[in-house]
């Protein structure tokens, strides 16, 4: 029995997620060598980290809008080619300013990758499978992100930091070629799909095959109150994520006294545990939606994940044991990632045919917070000489995110904001409820 084409699409998308994290995470391990060569302070290195995130946030929505116009097949090919080029170009940096410029350009290139993945899933995945599919997607990202610190530490035993960037960046070109040759924006256009699978997807995805790009439906994304609560909620997630992939190894080594190898191993643990949390979160949210409906099925998972993350991070900050603190930080990080499947599934539930734009809006707000994360840590540590304070700040953000989940309504999509009261038939044409 052959594997359904939609599951192959999910597998290829998960490999995309893995590549994004490989190229993002490697710099956190290489940071000490970069700082030493360019004589960078902790604050300056934080600006290097944030340069990527700032441009990434700036170009999220425009890139998602572009994909709505020309399709994710071409846009994702451009995204991966661009970011791979500038990952490799990072090896040519010769100063603090050049490093800032290259990382900023890298962020422009990668912007829109995950909203485009949400757009792909909105067209290829039936509603009943959205949670687990999002979980698998993020699991691919976190698995790669979790093992990247150890891989990069190993690579630095025989390669310079510049050569590591060259190796990591080169992999994306192979992905881009394969994606463009194989993928199609609409299931009906794929040469390998069966009529049965095609018809099932069109019947159960609840969006038209070729939707209109009208301003009214675009504006409805921003008028929906749930969109704003999704954005605030996601700021906590991305703020924490950028702590894990930037300063966590340094925190464990300098503030907690672990060896470099131990710091690398524990530094990857939040993302490694997140692999389990991603998949489990997707399974749980889909099952709860099936039994209790969209609101309870999505929001209860989101609330529980952030509540656990906040409590665990508070305990980690006050722990007297370095290894216990490292493990608790990893648990808190995984608990926050438990919410990713319902978060992005909500973007599809609420955004419908504008899932890419809503996903980009949510991801933009998250990356604004992500850009602040390394900078806030650096300035707080410099001002108070206490690494525990940034952990308490992160715990507070997790608690705010938990409250946001009480306000999110995945059962109220943008079609209701438009007042059309329409769903879509299996042929992709609207019919009145």
Residue 101 within any structural domain of the chain: yes
Q: Which tens digit of pLDDT belongs to each residue from 30-77?
A: 888 999 999 999 889 989 988 988 898 888 888 887 887 888 999 999
pLDDT at 212: 52
Confidence of residue 414 (pLDDT cuts 50, 70, 90): confident
The Cα–Cα gap between 248 and 231 comes to: 24
pLDDT at 419: 58
**3-state secondary structure at position 431:** strand
pLDDT at 27: 84
Q: Which tens digit of pLDDT belongs to each residue from 2-19?
A: 889 999 999 999 898 888
| Statement: residue 183 has pLDDT above 50 | yes
| Statement: residue 418 has pLDDT above 80 | no
Residue 59 within any structural domain of the chain: yes
Check: CB of residue 285 under 8 Å from CB of residue 337. Answer: no
Q: Which tens digit of pLDDT belongs to each residue from 190-200?
A: 999 999 999 99
The Cα–Cα gap between 425 and 431 comes to: 7
Among residues 204, 238, 234, which one has the least CA distance to residue 424? Answer: 204
**3-state secondary structure at position 430:** strand
Domain total for the chain?
1
Among residues 41, 167, 60, 45, which one has the least CA distance to residue 108? Answer: 60
The Cα–Cα gap between 243 and 221 comes to: 29
Residue 431 within any structural domain of the chain: no
| Statement: residue 423 has pLDDT above 70 | no
The Cα–Cα gap between 45 and 37 comes to: 12
For 423, the enclosing helix (H) or strand (E) is strand 422-424
| Statement: residue 235 has pLDDT above 80 | yes
Residues near 189 by Cβ (< 8 Å), separated by ≥ 6? none
pLDDT at 178: 94
Token pair for 291: 């039994």
The better pLDDT of the pair 1, 67 is held by 67
Q: How far, rounded to the nearest angstrom, does the alpha carbon of residue 167 sit from its chain's CA centroid?
A: 23
pLDDT at 220: 72
Q: Which structural domain, as residue segments, surrounds residue 388?
A: 5-206+216-418
Residue 427 within any structural domain of the chain: no
Q: What is the CATH number of the domain that holds 22?
A: 1.20.1250.20
Residue 298 within any structural domain of the chain: yes
Core vs surface per residue 134-149: b (16+ CB within 10 A) or e: bbbbbbbbbbbbbbbb
Q: What is the mean pLDDT of residues 242-253?
A: 87
Check: CB of residue 399 under 8 Å from CB of residue 303. Answer: no
Check: CB of residue 229 under 8 Å from CB of residue 407. Answer: yes
Confidence of residue 412 (pLDDT cuts 50, 70, 90): confident
Residue 428 within any structural domain of the chain: no
Core vs surface per residue 33-60: b (16+ CB within 10 A) or e: ebbeebebebeebbbbbbbbbbbbbbbb
Among residues 47, 59, 119, 62, which one has the least CA distance to residue 83? Answer: 59
Residue 246 within any structural domain of the chain: yes
Tell me the backbone φ, ψ of residue 423, rounded to 5 degrees. -120, -175
Q: Residue written as tokens 């954005």?
A: 231
Distances (CA, A) of 284 to 17, 129, 288, 395: 21, 11, 6, 24
The Cα–Cα gap between 45 and 40 comes to: 6
End-to-end Cα spacing for the chain? 38
Q: What is the mean pLDDT of residues 170-192?
A: 93
pLDDT above 90 coverage of the chain, percent = 50
Q: What is the mean pLDDT of residues 178-195?
A: 94
DSSP output for 84-153: HHHHHHGGG--SHHHHHHHHHHHHHHHTTHHHHHHHHHHHHS-GGGHHHHHHHHHHHHHHHHHHHHHHHH
Core vs surface per residue 259-297: b (16+ CB within 10 A) or e: eeebbbbbbbbbbbbbbbbbbbbbebbbebbeeeebbeb
Residue 244 within any structural domain of the chain: yes
pLDDT at 431: 34
């Amino acid at each position: 029995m052959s594997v359904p084409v939609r599951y192959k699409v999910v597998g290829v998308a998960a490999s995309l997620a893995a590549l994004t994290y490989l190229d993002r995470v490697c710099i956190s391990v290489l940071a000490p060598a970069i700082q030493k060569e360019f004589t960078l302070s902790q604050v300056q290195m934080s600006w290097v980290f944030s340069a990527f995130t700032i441009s990434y946030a700036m170009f999220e929505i425009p890139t998602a809008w572009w994909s709505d116009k020309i399709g994710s097949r071409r846009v994702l090919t451009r995204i991966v080619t661009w970011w791979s080029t500038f990952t490799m170009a990072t090896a040519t940096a010769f100063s603090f300013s050049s490093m800032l410029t290259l990382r900023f350009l890298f962020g422009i290139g990668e912007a829109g990758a995950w909203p485009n993945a949400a757009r792909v899933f909105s067209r290829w995945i039936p509603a009943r499978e959205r949670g687990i599919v999002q979980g698998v997607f993020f699991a691919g990202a976190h698995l790669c992100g979790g093992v990247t610190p150890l891989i990069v530490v190993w690579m630095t035993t025989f390669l310079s930091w510049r050569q590591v960037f060259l190796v990591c960046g080169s992999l994306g070109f192979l992905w881009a070629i394969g994606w463009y040759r194989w993928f199609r924006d609409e299931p009906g256009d794929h040469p390998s799909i069966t009529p049965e699978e095609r018809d099932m997807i069109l019947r159960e995805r609840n969006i038209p095959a070729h939707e209109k790009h009208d301003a009214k439906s675009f504006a409805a994304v921003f008028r929906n109150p749930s969109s704003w609560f999704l954005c605030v909620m996601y700021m906590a997630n991305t703020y924490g994520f950028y702590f894990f992939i930037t300063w966590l190894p340094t925190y464990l080594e300098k503030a907690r006294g672990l060896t470099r190898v131990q710091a690398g191993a524990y530094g990857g643990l939040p993302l490694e545990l997140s692999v389990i949390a991603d998949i489990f979160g997707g399974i749980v949210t889909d099952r709860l939606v099936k039994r209790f409906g969209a609101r309870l099925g999505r929001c209860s998972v989101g609330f529980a994940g952030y509540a656990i993350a906040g409590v665990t991070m508070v305990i980690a900050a006050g722990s007297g044991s370095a290894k216990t603190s490292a493990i608790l930080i990893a648990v808190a990080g995984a608990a926050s990632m438990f919410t990713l499947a319902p978060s992005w599934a909500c973007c599809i539930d609420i955004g419908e045919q504008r899932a890419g734009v809503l996903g980009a809006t949510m991801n933009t707000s998250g990356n604004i917070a992500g850009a602040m994360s390394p900078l806030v840590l650096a300035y707080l540590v410099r001002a108070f000489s206490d690494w525990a304070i940034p952990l308490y700040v992160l715990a507070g953000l997790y608690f705010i995110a938990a409250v946001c989940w009480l306000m999110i309504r995945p059962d109220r999509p943008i079609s209701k904001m438009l007042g059309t009261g329409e769903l879509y038939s299996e042929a992709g044409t609207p019919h009145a409820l």
